[in-house]
Structure 1
Amino acid sequence: MTSTPPFARGRRLALFTSAGIAALAVSTPAFAQDADDTIVDEQAAAAPEADNAIVVTGSRIRRPNRDTLEPSIVVNADQIEERGLTNVGEVLNEQPAFGPPASSAVGGQSGSFGSGQSFINFFGLGSQRTLTLVNSRRYVSSNTASIFGPVAAGSQVDLNTIPTLMVDRLETIAVGGAPIYGADAIAGTVNIILKDRFEGVRFDAQMGIAEEGDAQEYRLGAMVGTSFADGRGNVVAAVEYNNTEGLLYTDRERTAQGLFYAAPNDPNSPFDNVVISDRRIPILSEFGAPTTADIVPGFGFDITDGSGNTLVFDANGNLTPLDFGERYGVVNSAGGNGFSLLPVSNLLSPVERYLGALTATYDVTDSITAFLEGQYANSKGTELRSQPVYNTWLFDDAGTPDGNLIVPLSNPFLSDEARATIGAQLPAGQDFFYLGRANTDLIAGEGSSEVEVYRVVAGLRGDFYLGSRNLNWEVSGLYGRSRTEGRSRELVQQNFENALAGCPAGADSSPIATISDICAPFNPFGNQNTQAVADYVTTIANPTATNEQYDFIATIGGDLFNIWSGPVGFSIGYEHRDESADFDPGAFFFGQPDPADPDAPRTQFGRSIPIDPVSGSYNTDEVFGELQIPLVSPTMDVPFVNLLEAKGAIRYVDNSLTGGDITWTAGGRWKPVEDFAIRGNFTRSIRAPAITELFNPNSAIFTTADDPCDARFINAGPNPAQRAANCAADGLPANFTSNIVDFTTRGSLSGNTELENETADSWTIGAVFTPTFAPGLTLSVDWVDIALEGAIQSVDAEGTLEACYDANDFPNSACDRIDRDGAGQVEFIRTGYLNVASYDYQGVIADLRWTEATPFLGADSRISLRGSYQYIDKLEQQVGTGDLSTFRGSPGYSKHQATVGVTYENNGFGAFTQIQYIGENVVDPDAAPTSYQFFERDEIVYMDAGISFRTENDFTFRFIVENLFDRSAPYPAPTGGGLTTYFDGIMGRYFKVAATFGF
């Protein structure tokens, strides 16, 4: 269970939340929210000349080729342009090794706390465990340092802020980047290489539109580059504008079906959960549901007509029969005219981006080069709609902010007919009634997040000779700053009460400023309120988050000495890094302090609990070194050993908060023959605690949990006998019913400055086939194994309860976090971050690249084939002593996934097709097949295709069709990882047209 976020307005019956008021369709498990890599494209860039050494991602040692020990992939600019992709996140998410993104524009409901941001999820181990670099250097995070941020706490990079026009190539490696680049590279490293050599001017324009005629996408860009000082310097600058329009769930046939899992009505059903369509919540009404007692409709206290039909208000304030549809339990129904979440659920968030980047180099001397990088980004994501604030018995007692409204029969907005009908059914002497309401007419509008990023890098690099040895060096410093400003319309409770009471004379308005300070009476019946009412009862909340980063790196490397097989390569260096993050919830979310007692709990202005600011910083001092030792070279003519080399790297990280730690890697490469190589490595990686995990203040939450001592769960857990004994020792009977299971309970969530680094032991072994008889062919296959221990987890109420009652040492420190009353009910629970989780990933990744001249298809023609594949053998998570959760084979983590593309080029004409294969999967790998109807999702293939024409005057036209055959998503379309995985099928056929002109 999780704490209630500020936009979840309420704290009462888990019956409501657990039945999924926040779930918008068929729910599925989510993993590591919030991959192996995918392999090396040895031909993504032209092979360097023998005397031009290069540096590849995963090493700082210059080498004559792109061979790596780690599984790796390179995606170059031509491939990005060919696909018409406008976001780096889109490029990476097409690779099978990347799991469903932790955050993206698809399915976002983040409001003002990170709407539309793009964070990748390598290997499904969580976005906080992928290190993202730009030109091999760190990039400032745009993640909000708050428990209410869009993804898990960490230093994730928002890929919305990178202009694709400026990208030269994307390089990724699995596991082994930690000793080279430092903390956070547990799953892998993504290195975005920007163009630093370009001469001329290029203009780019692109437009996309769905076959449905919506979801338009626009991009305009320009890039200019020039050399100066007789070629000693070069500067490249690019600007880019992107605008993507949004969609609601009601805009697509599959999501508009309102598919949802509910317990069956048929006691003989073979399934524990069945799929219902047109999911409604009949006990809620956006126009008002009157009752004679403090309850929801359907429990015998309804207002009814002469035929016994339950009455609710319609949009015009008249009483009309409620059609319950086919009811499934208390909350859900299939059909009818109850409240639907679909019109207030985002399928695709609009995102508007202004991007700019600059790179410059200047040869100060023949052996010293100065370089400069600068990036600017302004990215704004918006939610088209948001859930309203609710007044309902489900959340609290009548008369409280979240409970039913208490409305007098004398309310002037009540029609005479409705007054008579309701009055006739009230108990004797009662002159008021209760009204439940989903206030969509007050708040269901746009929430947005605007991210602004500045980053500048400056440095020097060069070469020099020490004796006969050529050495290279580099010194650089960078500064990065991101600021995220949220904006959302929020209900102000005091003004709402004033408006509901008809604006009585002398009533005090809230001290928080609202959009209008002029009270306008609130009509709770129907949808008849004016904008003046909404403006008086709402304010604009503006939470802000700021991240800053300073990084200084100095390295020196080259040939250390020569041995029998060649030079031993080395690189050593020092890095100092400062990271800071601040989150200011703004006056509204912060709440009102008690002037008489500043330490007392603050009073919320609206329906959300007060949110605390977060502020913290740390710094690191790091030293690192790397060796590459050639043991056998091809010139030695050793039988069955064409090449044998060993590599090792180590880094010591001294973190000002978590202390010293060591990350290292050791591996090697063996080529028995020239055409075939075996490679492998073992790596110890670390992830430092994030500022939110360290410094989050003691924040109030409302939460639910499966209490281990409840009779429904007493026989579960890793050791049911131990659990039962501990519960009995705590004085709880075997038939105990715990309220926290069904009713939200007060608690707290706090950071932990005693957290330690996460550690992962990982290894890979693989083979690379580069046949001399087919010089354009490269095939690589690698096994990847990642075992992460001590992962930082926000241990929620359920985890805290399990840690107490499932332990052999009872009572323990976890029990001290739980307060029970005299009847054994949990009345308060303290939760927080601990190093208690573990993750295991095992899988195979393979990559195929083949480019071949095809003169029989055109004198200058060639065909390129590329393919990436992932097989997931294990993907598991365990928190403390809790149950092991398996995600291999769930939506978004199919056991088999592949992407294959073919490109044909001939004299300015090009054509490509790409297929994405998503293997079969199941709703929940840990559940029995009878747990869910439609337990399995069939495999599916989506195909994209495009053509391009280039004229002699450097004008290029491209036409692209995504989801060429308009394949739908498997039934039923799930939320969570499945929504992003099958988004092509939900969107439908999509067209893109692009043009590029340069000189």
Structure 2
Amino acid sequence: MYRPLFARSRLSVALGSALMLVAAAPAMAQQAATQEQKAEPASSKTPVQLDRMTVTGSRIYRAGFDTLEPAAVVSRESIENYGDTNLIDAVTRIPGVSAGVSSRGDQAGFGAGVNFASKFGLGSNRLLTLVNGRRFVTSTPPTIFGAGGGSGIQVDMNAIPSVMVQRIESLSVGGAPTYGSDAISGVNNIILRDRFEGAEVELGYGRTSKNDNERYSWSAIFGTGFADGRGHIVVAAELDNADGVNALQRDFYRQGYSLQANPTAANATAQPLRRPTNDGRIDGSIPFNTGPADGIPDQVWIRNRRIASMTFGGLVMPATGSYTRNGLGDILGFGPNKDKLWQFNNEGKLVEFNPGISYAGGNASGGDGLNLFETVPLIADLERRSVFSTGSFDFTDNVRGFFELSRYEATARETLDQNVYNAVSFGNARLDGGGAASGALTFSASNPFLSAETRKILADNGITSFRLSRSSRDLSMNNASTETRLTRAVLGLNGFFDIGKRSFNWEASVTHGRGDFDYLGTGLIQQNFINAINVTTDASGRIICDATRPGTTADANCRPLNLFGENQASREALDYVSTRTVAKAQTRQTVINASVSGGLFDLPGGELSAAAGFEHRREEGSFTPSEYQRLGQGRSVPTQAAEGKYHTNEVFAEVLAPLFNPDWDIPGLHRLDLTAKFRRVDNSVAGAFNAFTYGIQYEPIAGLQLRGNKTQSLRAPSIAELYTTQQPAYYNIPEVCSLDNISGGSNPAVRRRNCQAFFAAYPGADPNTFRQQPTNTLGSTNGSTRLQNETAKSWTAGIVFAPEWIPGLRVAADWYDIKINNVITSLSANDIITGCFDTADFNAANVPNANRFCSLVTRDPNTGVATDIKTEYGNGPVLMFRGWTAEVGYRWDLSRFGVLDLDFYGYMPKNRGQAANRDVPFVEQAGSFNEPKRQFRWTAQHRIGNWNYGVASNYTSRAQYTMTDTPESRQYFYRDSWTTWDANVTYRITDAARVTLSVINVGDDIGPFPYVLDALGRRYMASLRYNFK
């Protein structure tokens, strides 16, 4: 369940901290530190002695969870009720918080298995994750080929054992003046159980209703005081192992649903017997396409999708020509009608090939073509091991030492990975290594590996050479995996002192973290591959490598490779053409922090509180590819090493001024607090930045609060963005000045004017024939130490209602407005071309360097054809978010019938968009597939006697696939609303033992057809906890 962090009446504030613990008490009854206490009723005027604490987003000690910025809490009880062994599952139950990167689905090769959280769809690198209010070392490798989710210093939520977590405080928007960089969308602060007493062991087992994704977990926590209560130590350990899942383990993917171009009525005449009712489309009532604005979708959903232009064992096709023979996409074959096709089966025999019912681009419904879903992973294997310890010791009555130590190790493995392709869809390759490296290879019909039976079939059909179109999953076990080791230590002192009648709290700490990462995989050695596929026979008839062929190299270790049929290659040949790769990365973080806070003088509403401090932070990182990757011995461009570091010196201050005293009983002026926060960040590379927040909390009457703040925050460039050395890459460069595109763009008149200047500058460029090049262009990308900080200007306004006359009721609603300028991005080729031509900032007298975007493209001085492009990291795009959140919570004491908690959390984005630069309109995303305009969660949790049970409902509204889609562009251009249900039940067997069963997605609803929102479906988790007294 969610626990809001908003302010309430004096009595509510006094009880705020206690209620958080009471909520968790039924699940932790053996903890001495969390015994439920009942408070006596009190007037708002009655002085109450309160425990004081810091809350997320502030360094001022105050009573209860009283925050200026909107915030919510995931409680310990919620984590236990739903059997969360991974914190990403707990925090993403808050609508608006998502897994920006998760172990579900295929990830980049450098970072399998990580879980990064994101908020408001603004990226995981703009949500700061803390542990006990302190930074945690990142799991993002400093390379552009990292884990995804954007370069940054994201924290892997896997690394913190759930058994050690008391709660997660999720603060929205605020945090930058208190914590520094990256807190643009908010802060997730993981609060630890550092005062736990006793011992607790938990065993867990879970799986889906499909009997896969098995999870085994074990955890233990021990805490005790010592030295007559002056010291305290907590030690926890956790082991969690979860099996991965592949697409074909789900019926939806086994059905092979896919969106394909709807054939035109004119093209359909090439297949006289073809009808919409028999060509594999889901809805046979949709006719063939007849043209624009005909009300017929340009794309339709089909079942049993296959890629008819390749197979796993190899498709035999004519040696020359295109790979399709008509507008319908029928595969080019042999014979008078070009429709005779063969493939090599798993036994290496040549058999007839059924191409299925053709669709554009070599796709088909049915037939023997490649089933791409056989190569798609849904979730990675993940094994996690962690140890965490906290401790403190009171050296004197007002000086305490403390520490945190943690070690996290993990092994994540993608269950499937990308095949090695030599297929006509990627062009044509030559046996000498020329052409498109991943294109189809042309072989002679006399190749020694071909059987006599195969040669006869070829000869009977007049075939002397042929192309082999193949998707090779048998050349290597190319499962990318990541081995992670994170070590972190915190040492510090804190305490208090008095000056006169004023009390002050102080703290000084040093945090150091280190991450070591090994990224393992298997790669195809291209030169060895060329050596091994060029074969001949020796005098004895034995097949050997032929080093006399062009493009080959003499190598005594070469073993001939048989590609004619899946699994026909020898083990020796496979070993020769492949190699294991190990890339390494290291991240290091050191933070030195010192702060002091306390009351300075009295104001009418209470003591003016202030905090101030200093922080020094150093971030370092390195990435070292394997020799194979560095030299580009495969088919990819060479991967470059990267190394860099930066440091910051930061000073911060905060003031909280209560201006009105509730005891005055002034109508409409129950409480008025003003808050101001400031932080000066001096980054050794990105320069200085001022982050600030100022805001107001106003209560016209007790229990009704109006709050609002304005914040300026930042995200500093990461090591990968700063220090990536020039990295070669291939780009498909669009040309907006072609006839098809010259009247498009966000401002067609500006584009046309700039294109006219372009044609004037390049005399060989004909406006009537100028086109995008059909092949990719080799360019490069690199980091830049000229990068500036991302700058976010945000404001929030909200209302909080927690009336004393309805005990247990909590209501809050808040509006957010966030605009991020100077967004750091690796500009795409499309960004650069549109940035060049779609802006008024265009120097027509110097077209090659008309603006900073144009200068990144090198063109032929006569024809204007792009010959090179540089896509370095830069500041440019603008991000924007506006929307609402709403919370309602009610705790109902049912006396002898127990306690019922009812909670609601709503997230309603109004706008979320991106613009390539300030001169073009935002591309709206709110209301799209990834950002539905309404996302709600309801929960009900009932505790009575030995039972604790609850249900939760998750709702997302109808959404378009993209905001530009229409009924004309695609079938099912929207998805319907979607609701799932979760449930949990806990039974206390004895005072020490309890068993919990949770079910996620009770209805096994994967999403509105034909979209998949929860591929795992229904899943169970059972756990047994035992608490030792």
TM-score, length of structure 2 as denominator length: 0.87
Q: 2:998 & 2:354 partners in 1: Cα distance?
A: 46
Contact 1:414 1:525 in 2 (8 A): no
1:852 shift after superposition? 1.9
**3-state SS in 1 of match to 2:118:** coil
**Equivalences for 1:437-476 in 2 at 5 Å?**
437-443=470-476, 445-476=478-509
Asked if 1:897 is matched to 2:935, the reply is yes
In terms of mean alpha carbon deviation, does 723-732 or 354-363 score higher?
723-732
What is the match of residue 843 of structure 1? 883
What is the match of residue 274 of structure 1? 300
Asked if 1:250 is matched to 2:259, the reply is no
What is the match of residue 289 of structure 1? 315
Q: 2:614 & 2:585 partners in 1: Cα distance?
A: 30
Contact 2:948 2:987 in 1 (8 A): yes
Equivalent AA in structure 1 for residue 1023 of structure 2: A
Equivalent AA in structure 2 for residue 778 of structure 1: R
**3-state SS in 2 of match to 1:639:** coil
What is the match of residue 26 of structure 1? none
**Equivalences for 1:856-867 in 2 at 5 Å?**
857=897, 861-867=898-904
Q: Deviations over 1:836-888 (max 9, x none)?
A: 1111111110112222211252xxx1111122111111111111255632211
Structure 1 residues 297 and 392, CA gap change in structure 2 (3 angstroms): same
Equivalent AA in structure 1 for residue 114 of structure 2: Q
**Equivalences for 1:61-80 in 2 at 5 Å?**
61-80=60-79
Structure 1 residues 396 and 931, CA gap change in structure 2 (3 angstroms): closer
Picking from 859, 864, 870, the partner of 1:820 is: 859
What is the match of residue 626 of structure 1? 654
Asked if 1:807 is matched to 2:836, the reply is no
Q: 1:654 & 1:617 partners in 2: Cα distance?
A: 14
Structure 1 residues 38 and 449, CA gap change in structure 2 (3 angstroms): farther
Structure 1 residues 722 and 424, CA gap change in structure 2 (3 angstroms): farther
Q: 1:296 & 1:546 partners in 2: Cα distance?
A: 47
Q: For the aligned residues, what is the CA RMSD?
A: 2.4
| Structure of higher RCO (CA pairs closer than 8 Å, 6+ residues apart) | 1
Of structures 1 and 2, the larger Rg is shown by 2
Asked if 1:504 is matched to 2:545, the reply is yes
1:919 shift after superposition? 1.2
Q: 1:794 & 1:505 partners in 2: Cα distance?
A: 44
Equivalent AA in structure 2 for residue 195 of structure 1: R
**Equivalences for 1:305-344 in 2 at 5 Å?**
308-344=339-375
Q: 1:413 & 1:304 partners in 2: Cα distance?
A: 24
**3-state SS in 2 of match to 1:330:** helix
Q: 1:613 & 1:97 partners in 2: Cα distance?
A: 36
Q: Deviations over 1:349-384 (max 9, x none)?
A: 111100111000111111011000011111222111
Equivalent AA in structure 2 for residue 573 of structure 1: G
Asked if 1:391 is matched to 2:422, the reply is yes
Equivalent AA in structure 1 for residue 222 of structure 2: V
Structure 1 residues 817 and 423, CA gap change in structure 2 (3 angstroms): farther
Contact 2:323 2:424 in 1 (8 A): no
**3-state SS in 2 of match to 1:952:** coil
**Equivalences for 1:162-561 in 2 at 5 Å?**
162-265=160-263, 266-268=288-290, 270-295=296-321, 297-299=323-325, 302-303=333-334, 308-399=339-430, 400=434, 401-423=437-459, 425=461, 432-443=465-476, 445-502=478-535, 503-504=544-545, 519-561=559-601
Picking from 914, 932, 937, the partner of 2:970 is: 932
In terms of mean alpha carbon deviation, does 205-214 or 292-301 score higher?
292-301
1:53 shift after superposition? 0.9
1:703 shift after superposition? 1.6
Picking from 638, 651, 667, the partner of 2:679 is: 651
1:278 shift after superposition? 2.0
Contact 1:384 1:445 in 2 (8 A): no
Q: 1:446 & 1:398 partners in 2: Cα distance?
A: 25
Structure 1 residues 932 and 44, CA gap change in structure 2 (3 angstroms): farther
Contact 1:290 1:303 in 2 (8 A): no
Picking from 120, 132, 135, the partner of 1:135 is: 132
Structure 1 residues 335 and 953, CA gap change in structure 2 (3 angstroms): same
**Equivalences for 1:643-792 in 2 at 5 Å?**
643-731=671-759, 732-740=765-773, 742-792=774-824
Equivalent AA in structure 1 for residue 853 of structure 2: A
Contact 2:697 2:706 in 1 (8 A): yes
Picking from 946, 952, 975, the partner of 2:984 is: 946
What is the match of residue 868 of structure 1? 905
Equivalent AA in structure 1 for residue 479 of structure 2: E
Contact 1:783 1:843 in 2 (8 A): yes
**3-state SS in 1 of match to 2:940:** strand
Picking from 964, 982, 991, the partner of 2:1020 is: 991
Structure 1 residues 987 and 102, CA gap change in structure 2 (3 angstroms): same
**3-state SS in 2 of match to 1:694:** helix
Contact 1:453 1:482 in 2 (8 A): yes
Which residues of structure 2 form unaligned runs of 5+? 8-15, 23-36, 40-47, 264-287, 326-330, 536-543, 760-764
What is the match of residue 25 of structure 1? none
In terms of mean alpha carbon deviation, does 304-313 or 582-591 score higher?
304-313
Structure 1 residues 302 and 781, CA gap change in structure 2 (3 angstroms): same
TM-score, length of structure 1 as denominator length: 0.90
Picking from 108, 113, 120, the partner of 2:117 is: 120
Contact 2:309 2:424 in 1 (8 A): no
Picking from 612, 615, 635, the partner of 1:572 is: 612
Q: 2:929 & 2:746 partners in 1: Cα distance?
A: 26
In terms of mean alpha carbon deviation, does 911-920 or 43-52 score higher?
43-52
Equivalent AA in structure 1 for residue 854 of structure 2: C
Equivalent AA in structure 2 for residue 866 of structure 1: D
Contact 1:886 1:926 in 2 (8 A): no
Q: 1:301 & 1:941 partners in 2: Cα distance?
A: 46
Equivalent AA in structure 1 for residue 447 of structure 2: N
Q: Deviations over 1:457-513 (max 9, x none)?
A: 00000000112110110000010011221111111112212221244377999999x
Structure 1 residues 656 and 109, CA gap change in structure 2 (3 angstroms): closer
In terms of mean alpha carbon deviation, does 633-642 or 497-506 score higher?
497-506
1:730 shift after superposition? 2.1
In terms of mean alpha carbon deviation, does 187-196 or 335-344 score higher?
335-344
Aligned residues: 932
Q: 2:262 & 2:332 partners in 1: Cα distance?
A: 26
Contact 1:303 1:422 in 2 (8 A): no
Contact 1:389 1:607 in 2 (8 A): no
Q: 2:944 & 2:552 partners in 1: Cα distance?
A: 70
Q: 1:763 & 1:750 partners in 2: Cα distance?
A: 34
Q: Deviations over 1:728-785 (max 9, x none)?
A: 3222433335334x53221111111111111111011111111112222211111111
In terms of mean alpha carbon deviation, does 168-177 or 925-934 score higher?
925-934
Contact 1:40 1:847 in 2 (8 A): no
Q: 1:146 & 1:920 partners in 2: Cα distance?
A: 37
Structure 1 residues 825 and 256, CA gap change in structure 2 (3 angstroms): farther
Contact 2:56 2:189 in 1 (8 A): yes
Q: 2:340 & 2:550 partners in 1: Cα distance?
A: 40
